[in-house]
Copies of this chain bind each other. A is one copy, B any other.
Amino acid sequence: MEKEKKFVESIASMEDDFAQWYTDIVKKAELADYASVRGCMVIRPYGYAIWENIQKILDQMFKDTDHENVYMPMFIPESLLKKEADHVKGFAPEVAWVTHGGNELLAERLCVRPTSETLFCDHYAKIIQSYNDLPKLYNQWCSVVRWEKTTRPFLRSSEFLWQEGHTAHATAEESKAETLKMLNIYATFCEETLAIPVIKGQKTEKEKFAGAKDTYTIESLMHDGKALQCGTSHNFGDGFAKAFNIQYTDKTGKLAYVHQTSWGMSTRLIGAIIMVHGDESGLVLPPAVAPIQLIIVPVALHKEGVIEKATELKDMLSKVARVKMDTSDKMAGWKFSQYEMKGVPLRLEVGPKDIEKNQVVLVRRDTREKIIVPIPELESLVPEILKDIQNSLLEKARNIQNKRTFSTTTVEELKNLLDKTLGFVDAPWCGDLACEENVKEVAGASSRCMPLDQPEKKGVCLCCGKPAKAIVTWGRAY
C-alpha cells in the first residue's frame, strides 16, 4: 500500500493547485504529451481512444440528422480568407502562414485553416444552383490551427482536432432552425454521453463568432467554478452568401442568396471531462466514452486457477462492456492506483478466496463503493452499474452546478459572489457593450451567454439601471 499511496501523491491536490492537478492528470493518465512544436500536443493512445468514442457517437448523431461528411483542403489562400470582412478581422491575427512550397516562394501565401467557412463557401458557390440542391448539410472532422499565446493541452492549443458542420439553406427560418437543432444535439451529447450539464444560450454581440449573425453556445462549469465553452453553433444569415455570391434559383425562377450555419466541438471536450469529473485520485471517465469500462485485476495471480478464472470472466464480460485484464507482474495495489488515475469506471478484483466463494469484488471509481457480486449475476449487473455510474456522474455534476449558480442585480454583488465562490451568476443586462465591458472590469467576469429560457420580466441592467433586454449568465472563463 506504500507504493500505491506514493503513486497517488504524485499528482497535485485539486483543491491546492487546480491548474497543476489538471496538467498532472493529462500526463499521468497518459492522455497527451507536449510536442516539439510550441503549443502543440501529442494525443496519446488513451486520450485518442476517448476522442474516438466521442467521434463515433457524435458522428452517428450527425448522420441520423442527414448530415454528410466531406473533406476540404487544409490551406486557405489569403484572398479567400479576406472575402468576408468580419471573419478575416477575427482570424487573421492568429493564423499560421505558409509562404514557401519546397524551395519556391508562393505567389500568394496560404493560411492553415483556423476554421473552414471560406472553403465551404467557395465550394458551395460552385455546386449550388437551384432550390433542388438545398439544403446542403455537410460536416468535416479535421484539425485546425490557431496561433495561441498561452496554451494548455486540450483546453487551448495551437492545433486541435474538431468537427465543423457547415450548412446552406433556402431560407432564413431554415438556417435558424438548423443552428438551434445542432445546439440541442450538442447539449444532448454533453449531458447524455459526457455526463456534463450545460446551459444553452446565445452569445452577446461582443462574444459572437467573427462573421456570424447570431452565435449560440453551450456553457459548462468546471470543478474550480470556472466556465468552459463546450461547443458553439452559428447562424450566418446570408452574410457569407453575399460575400461569396452563393445564389440559387428558387421555385419561381428568381435568384436568391442561401442562408448558412456552422457549428463545432473539439478535443477541448476531453479537458471538460477531466475538470468536471476528476478527483484527487485522478481522472474519472463517464462509461459512455471510457476506452476501458471495466478493468480486471487478478489478485494473487500466480495461485492456481486465478488467471484462468479471470480470463473466463474477461471473455464473458467482453460481451457487455469494454473490458481489459492486467496480468502484469506489478503489485495489485499499484494497479488499483493506476486504473484509478486513468478513470476506469469499474474495477473487478478476483483472487483465490473469491473463486472459492464463486464471487468477485467490484469497485466503483466514482463512489469507491465495493460490491461483492456472485459470478452468475455479473453479466447482467455490470451494464446496470455502468449505467448507474453514468447517471450518477451527471447528477453529481448537476448538483454542483446548481449549488454554484447564483443571481444578483448589481455588479458589485456579482463581484462579491464570484470572489467568494466561483460559478455562474445570472443578472439582467441592458444590451449595451459599455455595460458588458464594465462588468468585465469591475467583476472580472465575461458574459457566458443569454440563456434560451428567459423570464417575462427582466428587471433593470446590473450596471446602468436601464430596462434589461436579457438575463445574462456571467462567469470567469477558461
Is A185 part of the binding interface, using a Cβ–Cβ cutoff of 8 Å?
no
Of A141-149, A317-325, A426-434, the one contacting chain B is: A141-149
Q: How far is the CA of A80 from the CA of B36 in the complex (A)?
A: 8
Question: CB-defined interface of A43-70 with B at 8 Å, one 1/0 digit per residue?
Answer: 1110011011000000000000000111
- Of B71, B119, B158, the residue contacting A48 (CB under 8 A) is B71
Is A454 part of the binding interface, using a Cβ–Cβ cutoff of 8 Å?
no
A73 touches B123 (CB 8 A): no
Contacts of A74 in B (CB 8 A): 74, 112, 143, 145, 159
A73 touches B159 (CB 8 A): yes
Contacts of A101 in B (CB 8 A): 94-97, 147, 158
B45 touches A119 (CB 8 A): no
Question: CB-defined interface of A18-36 with B at 8 Å, one 1/0 digit per residue?
Answer: 0000000000000001011
Question: CB-defined interface of A137-161 with B at 8 Å, one 1/0 digit per residue?
Answer: 0100011010100000000001101
Q: How far is the CA of A445 from the CA of B377 in the complex (A)?
A: 67
Report the minimum CB–CB distance from A206 to chain B (whole Å). Answer: 21
A112 touches B98 (CB 8 A): yes
- Of B43, B52, B72, B159, the residue contacting A75 (CB under 8 A) is B159
Contacts of A147 in B (CB 8 A): 101-102
Q: What is the total number of residues of chain A having a CB less than 8 Å from a CB of chain B?
A: 52
Q: A36, A48, A143: which has the most chain B beta carbons within 10 Å? A: A36
Q: How far is the CA of A41 from the CA of B72 in the complex (A)?
A: 7
Name the residue of chain B whose CB is nearest to the CB of A99: B99
Is A253 part of the binding interface, using a Cβ–Cβ cutoff of 8 Å?
no
B102 touches A99 (CB 8 A): no
- Of B52, B95, B102, B142, the residue contacting A93 (CB under 8 A) is B102
A100 touches B102 (CB 8 A): no
Contacts of A103 in B (CB 8 A): 93
Report the minimum CB–CB distance from A478 to chain B (whole Å). Answer: 21
Contacts of A71 in B (CB 8 A): 42-43, 48, 51, 143, 161
A/B interface sample: 14 pairs, CB < 8 A: A33-B126, A36-B76, A37-B73, A37-B76, A42-B72, A42-B119, A43-B70, A45-B69, A48-B71, A95-B102, A97-B99, A98-B99, A99-B99, A112-B112
Nearest 7 interchain pairs by C-beta: A40-B73, A45-B68, A101-B147, A43-B71, A97-B100, A37-B75, A35-B73
